[in-house]
Structure 1
């Protein structure tokens, strides 16, 4: 495998990991540091990592570094809201009204999402927020594609239950 191909593969995976860390609520600076540390660690141990497990290895190292940072700072992991997309479309009062309603609904969704298990939250974010395919998620987590489908079904069911419970009270 050529150096250029390896570099391209790492760059692609690191962008995905960076994006995911930001979705988890990681600051831009911390996400960049974690990605850089993960890349360094991958280069250091590259001979010991199976090539077909590289994606899941990178992901696990980065996520564990983020969890360690959260534990160190005594902080709970929460998904973040990206409001920039909405702000770009604000031009008149109707759009402002829609923006506020969208933001309120998004906050409710995030509250529900943050109250389900981490694995289910991760799967839902991978599939619906980041748009990853079942195959990409399976590769990233180093699990069978059918297992991803099963876990995603359970994640959706857990989310629906939490969502219903929030609004039936």
Structure 2
């Protein structure tokens, strides 16, 4: 038997079946955490914001309108991160200068991750966000376009350009 889609589950959550939120949480909390961690570089903050995203998912469940669940979820995550840094700007460094704390096992792997994160940090915040969502979180162009308020074609072109820029930055750092 095929498992119900995220959209069907979220619609049932919106209709009041909060027990199904556990299924959505289990499917997506790691992706949300990883996105927030790659954007902020702060594990504790990412954990807190991940909890906040799922709290907001419950709180605003009635605003879900049968669109792409992943787009809706990452829009909440994106807005939560921006709100946090806007609200606490005086307590945090600029996102782009945060150092990546790799959890890689080998020294070479850690160095590769460090070079990649340094290259990512050189990108503008919105460019870095698009690459992380598309390549690391595997958000499709259609969903990314919905999150960014653009068209799939424009997003695909922009991601391609950003990846070329990222490749240049990465190759400079090794």
State the TM bucket, normalised to the shorter chain: 0.5 to 0.7
CA distance, structure 1, for counterparts of residue 147 and residue 99 of structure 2: 19
Q: Are residue 74 (structure 1) and residue 92 (structure 2) matched?
A: yes
2:120/2:166 contact within 8 Å kept: yes
Q: Report if aligned partners of 2:49, 2:80 keep a CA contact under 8 Å in 1.
A: yes
**Counterparts in 2 of 1:17 and 1:114: CA distance versus 1, 3 Å:** same
Partner of residue 153 from structure 2, selected from 142, 146, 149: 146
Structure 2 vs 1, CA of residues 163 and 64 (structure 1 numbering), >3 Å: closer, same or farther? same
Separation in structure 1 between the aligned mates of residue 144 and residue 122 of structure 2, nearest angstrom: 22
Partner of 1:94: none
Q: Name which of 51, 54, 63 aligns with 1:36.
A: 51
Which one has a bigger Cα radius of gyration?
1
Deviations 1:73-125 (A, max 9, x none): 232224724333x33xxxxxxxxxxx34x544443332222111122212222
Instruction: Please provide the CA RMSD for this pair.
Output: 3.1
User: How do 1:80-95 and structure 2 match up within 5 A?
Assistant: 80-84=100-104, 86-87=105-106
| TM-score (norm. length: structure 2) | 0.66
Please, which of 53, 60, 63 is the counterpart of residue 48 of structure 1? 63
- For residues 1-169 of structure 1, the aligned pairs below 5 Å read 1-2=11-12, 3=17, 5-71=20-86, 72=88, 73-77=91-95, 78=98, 80-84=100-104, 86-87=105-106, 99-100=107-108, 102-134=109-141, 137-138=144-145, 141=148, 143-163=150-170, 166=172
Q: Across the two proteins, how many residue pairs are aligned to each other?
A: 153
Q: For the Cα contact (< 8 Å) 1:53–1:142, is it kept in 2?
A: no
Please tell me whether the aligned partners of residues 36 and 46 of structure 2 are also in contact (alpha carbons under 8 angstroms).
Answer: yes
Q: Structure 2: give runs of 5+ residues left out of the alignment.
A: 1-10
Structure 1 residues not aligned, in runs of 5+: 88-98
Deviation at 1:153, TM superposition (A): 0.8
Q: Secondary structure at the match of 2:40?
A: coil
Per-residue deviation, 1:142: 6.2
